[in-house]
Amino acid sequence: MLRERTRMVHQLETRGIRDPVVLAAFDQVPREQFVAPHLAAHAYEDRPLPIEAEQTISQPHIVAVMVQALELVPDSVVLEVGTGSGYAAAILACIASHVYTIERQPQLAQTARSRLARLGFFNVDVRCGDGTLGWEQQAPFDAIVVSAGGPVLPQALVDQLAVGGRLVMPIGDATEQRLIRVTKVSASELRQEDLGAVVFVPLIGAQGWEDACVFAV
């Protein structure tokens, strides 16, 4: 799998991922450990793959785009909303000082927690709960990444973002989502950038969608 991982990292670089720290993180994390054994042969293809609870592990390129947009440094404290398989949390943990990640599906939260511990990512805390409300006890965060599409920026996450910090998440519905980066310039000022079109599962919670029906075709 090492050869396939090296090839994936090279493809990320050719597609615009230039931060050497981000590329090094993708080179360290064994993606095959985050999917079912029968999908391991496809682990380094640039596409989403199914995981438990009818969810998916995002394609490597979009994970890389989001991580690069966070502009992390070694002492960054990061909040991730939507743990899923735990793969993105592992990537973040290779760069940041500490990662707090929230997953609303108990099965996914427990599986990710066990997997990350087994692989030695001890600077990650996994919590099962409503990610749209953030993790107030650990705030403020230098960076927040949301791996699901919401109708608007959750105010709780904006409040928990440190001044100077960045929040990256998809905004929109099933028809159209845009990947947005918000920089908290001051306590009362946000700067917003559009990073392009994306497709994510719905962000369910008190400050997201009430349920997944809005994304039903």
* pLDDT tens-place string over residues 90-145: 999 999 999 999 999 999 999 999 999 999 999 999 999 999 999 999 999 999 99
CA 181/CA 168 separation, integer angstroms: 4
Q: All domains of the chain, ordered by start, with CATH? A: 2-215 (3.40.50.150)
- Do the strands 56-57 and 49-50 form a parallel or antiparallel pair, or are they unpaired? antiparallel
Give the DSSP H/E element, type plus range, for residue 171.
strand 161-172
The predicted structure's pLDDT at residue 214: 57
Q: What is the pLDDT of residues 51-81, one digit of tens each?
A: 998 899 999 999 999 999 999 999 999 999 9
* DSSP, res 217: -
For the annotated catalytic residues, the residue numbers are: 58
Looking at residue 80, its pLDDT comes to 98
CA distance 8 to 127: 30
The share of the chain scoring above pLDDT 90, in percent, equals: 92
Bridge-based pairing of strands 141-146 and 161-172 is: parallel
pLDDT for res 119: 98
Give the model confidence (pLDDT) of 140-194 as tens digits.
Answer: 999 999 999 999 999 999 999 999 999 999 999 988 999 999 999 999 999 999 9
Split at pLDDT 50, 70, 90, the class of 217 is very low
Which pLDDT score, from 0 to 100, does residue 165 have? Answer: 98
